[in-house]
Every structure is written in structure tokens, then in C-alpha cells.
Structure 1
Amino acid sequence: MTKVTAQLSVSLDGFYAGPRHEGDGGDWLASEEAVKFFRVTRWATNAMAWRERQGFAGGEQDVSSDVIRESFEAAGAYVMGRRMADGGEVPWGEEPPFRAPVFVVTNRPRATLERKGGTSFTYVTDGVESAVARAKAAAGGKDVAVAGGGTLVRQVMAAGLLDELELHIAPVVLGTGLRLLDADLGLGRKEGIELVPTRVLHAPDVTHVRYTVKGRAPLVLDDRGRGDAG
């Protein structure tokens, strides 16, 4: 059965990058957004499976590499935000690492971009629900991976479309930046999104925690022992 999954690297205080860089002509790689992003994702760039997928040599064969290899093998299609797609277009080159159809959520139309290795970028202008539906149809029974960024992951979660969330928690406090689980999830004042942890894997530089997303539920206070004893 096709699941909709998402995974992001975050700091202990919940940030996946530094404060947003607005692209005012400055170098994104030198921005605070990029510096803090690479600080929480360096576990991945050190992993052999990530490096192999990018066409690089070397890397560590460890539990983190296994997690990355597993995620690539599970995905039959991807959903991605336009900002991530635009930012990766040049670095990914003619053979991006996805090797599957990618559906880009955007409000700016563009013709489908075909790349080598089985990757294509289809630009979807009628909303995140449509992008997820199209990705499911293209996934061939495998999972749909929401590749990011954080704003898109929140949109998919808020819409009740996310089945599984995996957080790669780096042992660092960033203090400020782009927070994954932000206030725009659209939750009511007495409502939460409940998750069940299903796997925890430890590595020296990151902890991988996988959750099944149960969905929205009212927040109910217990009676703190004030109820009938029975």
C-alpha cells in the first residue's frame, strides 16, 4: 500500500535551517539559512549511500547510510516545493538523485522537465492535494516521499495526507531559523496532531525517529486524580 512519507533533519530546538534567505542577490551558500541547514544535515552528506546517489566517492557505511538507502529504495515518486526544486536544479545536474517522477507544488506554470536516470519534474499548479494524488498514481505501489521543504511538509500534514514522518535529530541547538512544526498547521486551540513512534535508531551525530501519523484529535486534559476512584 502506498504511504505518503516525509523526513527532515532538525536541531534539538526544531529548526531545519537558519533564518530564511530572501535571495536578494546574495550567495545562498554563504547565508545563515544555508550554514544552519548544513549543520543539521552533515550526518547525511557523510553517509556512503547519500554520496553514491550523488555520484561521489567515499562516505561512511553505518546506520545513517542504511536509513538513506532505505528511503531512496522505498520512494516511487516525490512531492517537492518550488523553492527546493529551483534551488536544486543546477546542483543536481542532468541526472538528479531521485530516479523517479517528482511533482513540484507551485503557482507558476512550467513545462515538465525531463532528466536522465528516470527523474522528471512536473509542475503542479492546482494545490498540494493534486500533487500528492498525481504522485500516488505515478508511484507504482511504492511510497510517495514529500521531499520538502518544511513549509510543504506542514501543508501535507495539515491537509491530513501524511502517513509517516521521520525526524533526523541532530544534537545541536540553533536558537533561531526555519522551524519545521510551526504555527501554520491550522490547529484549533484545543486540537493536536497525534503521532506514534515506531522506530528509533541511534548514531553518534544523529538520532533517527520514525512516527506513524494518527491525525488530528482534541486535546483532553486528564482529571489529575480528581475523578471517582471507583
Structure 2
Amino acid sequence: MAENKKDGGDAGQGAGTRVRVESFTISLDGYGAGTDQSLDSPLGIGGESLHEWVTSTRSWRQMHEQAGGSEGVDNDFAMRGNENIGAWIIGRNMFGPVRGPWPDERWKGWWGDNPPYHVPVYVLTHYARPPLEMEGGTTFYFVTEGIHAALDRAREAAIGKDIRIGGGADTIQQYLREGLIDELHIAIAPTLLGKGEGLFGKVDWHKAGYECTRFGASEKAMHIILQRKPDA
């Protein structure tokens, strides 16, 4: 299926720091992760099936120092997710499966010594922890003061580049309800999870001023870009 754009589909490009969601994948029934996250199931039961579209792309493989990979629509959307990113904000569940107070500082994320971010990453949590400096330019900062404080710190660190909001769904919803996200790329995978973390249930997207400005599909995912109207 050919990719389609509506008028103004890339409005706002180059207009200063934007807050973006990129490559957030949901199932056909609207879930961005499965239940029962664990060391063996980082995305919950069945969650890994959501991301087959991105893990097969050339962009993803290059980022993980692997050869090969597909090109086309999926690769185009995977590539755009890494463009002009100066800082990330993620929820604690995306950082790891540990719950409650940190028992120690041994857990350093899912990604090994050289995480794929290469910029400051602000982790939303209720429990303080010292910054964690990793290889490749990634430093995790643990923010206990809430989403606005994390955004302020990320904006300062981004130095004019964009801020990417990572998972999970609850983190994205918190920023959406405050009207703080400018653009979202959502991929819809042809799979059903049955239950998990839903993205759409707690946000009135139309009232919040979002419109679909771009869409395209491959055999593995339907991609849509939602942008918030400037006057919303």
C-alpha cells in the first residue's frame, strides 16, 4: 500500500523543540504491551509480536550493529523515529521490571552497557536513584517530581532538538492529557493481545485537537501520524 499524506502532513518540522511519540506499536485491539512483564517477557505476554515490523528493518539492525534488514515503508518510519532527538522520557516499566523501592543499583536497563539512546533519558519513577551513566552517551536520570519536571529537564538537555516520549501507554497518556505531545507515530500490528496496556481508552483525541496527517502500510504494520493542531 502506498504511503499517503494529507495537507500539512509535516507541519512543524524545524520549528524548534517538539515533543514526539515514535514507533509506538499497538495491537489491533489497542494494547501497547501484554500483561505480566518479566525478565523473560520484557513487553508482557505476547508483546514482542507487536514489534516484528521494526526489528526486521535495516534501520533497527544498523542501530544494533547487525547486517541486512528490510527497506520500504517500515524502514522509513523506523528511521524517522531517530531523527533530531535530543532527549527521551520513559516510564519506569520501560526501564525494567523492578517495582517499588530500588533494592539495589544492579539493574541498569534491558539494553546492556551501550543502550540505543545515546542522549539523556529521563525515567519517571516514585523512587529516587542516582543518575546512571552508560556507554555511548546515554545517561539515565530518575525523576520523582512528575511529568512536567521531566519535560523541563529534557527540554533543557535537548538543546533545541526534539524530545521523544517512550512507553508505556500510561506515560504517553499522562502527557496527552496535559496537551504536551505535538506528534505521534503509532504503528498498528496485525495481532491480537486480548488484554494488556491500552492506549486509547483514557484520551479524547478529537477534543485534544489531534488529526491524522499521514498514513502508510506494509505487510507487518499500519502506520499513522497524528499531529496536534496549532490552535488546539
Instruction: Quickly name the TM-score band, shorter chain normalised.
Output: 0.7 to 0.9
Residue of structure 2 aligned with 1:102, choices 116, 121, 125: 121
**Per-residue deviation, 1:193:** 2.5
Identity %: 33
**Whose helix proportion is higher, 1 or 2?**
1
**Per-residue deviation, 1:77:** 0.5
Secondary structure at the counterpart of residue 72 of structure 1: coil
Q: Following the alignment from structure 1 to structure 2, what is the Cα–Cα distance between the partners of residues 92 and 172?
A: 25
8 Å Cα contact 2:37-2:44 kept in structure 1: no
Specify the code of the residue in structure 2 equivalent to 1:5.
R
Are 2:69 and 1:59 aligned? yes
Which residue is 1:182 aligned to? 201
Q: Following the alignment from structure 2 to structure 1, what is the Cα–Cα distance between the partners of residues 57 and 230?
A: 32
Q: Following the alignment from structure 1 to structure 2, what is the Cα–Cα distance between the partners of residues 209 and 49?
A: 19
Residue of structure 2 aligned with 1:15, choices 27, 31, 45: 31
Q: Per the alignment, do residues 117 and 22 of structure 1 end up closer, same or farther by CA in structure 2, a change over 3 Å counting? A: closer
Residue of structure 2 aligned with 1:39, choices 35, 46, 49: 49
Alignment of 1:89-128 (within 5 A): 89-128=108-147
Are 2:178 and 1:166 aligned? no
Q: Following the alignment from structure 1 to structure 2, what is the Cα–Cα distance between the partners of residues 208 and 178?
A: 19
**Per-residue deviation, 1:195:** 1.1
Which residue is 1:220 aligned to? none
After superposing on structure 2, the runs of 4+ consecutive aligned residues of structure 1 that deviate more than 3 Å are: 87-91, 214-217
1:74-125 per-position Cα deviation (integer Å, ceiling 9, x unaligned): 2111001111112593431111101111011111111111111111101111
Specify the code of the residue in structure 2 equivalent to 1:169.
I
8 Å Cα contact 1:112-1:121 kept in structure 2: yes
1:166-191 per-position Cα deviation (integer Å, ceiling 9, x unaligned): 110112333322211233x4x6xxx8
**Whose strand proportion is higher, 1 or 2?**
1
| CA-atom RMSD in angstroms | 2.3
Q: Give the TM-score of the pair, scaled to structure 1.
A: 0.81
Q: Give the TM-score of the pair, scaled to structure 2.
A: 0.81
Q: Following the alignment from structure 2 to structure 1, what is the Cα–Cα distance between the partners of residues 21 and 80?
A: 13
Which residue is 2:20 aligned to? 5
Specify the code of the residue in structure 2 equivalent to 1:211.
L
Which residue is 2:228 aligned to? 213
8 Å Cα contact 2:95-2:109 kept in structure 1: no
Residue of structure 2 aligned with 1:72, choices 73, 82, 98: 82
**Per-residue deviation, 1:35:** 3.8
Give unpaired runs (5+ residues) of structure 1: 218-230
**Per-residue deviation, 1:216:** 11
Higher relative contact order (Cα pairs below 8 Å, separated by 6+ residues): 2
Give unpaired runs (5+ residues) of structure 2: 1-15, 98-106
Secondary structure at the counterpart of residue 201 of structure 1: strand
Secondary structure at the counterpart of residue 121 of structure 2: strand
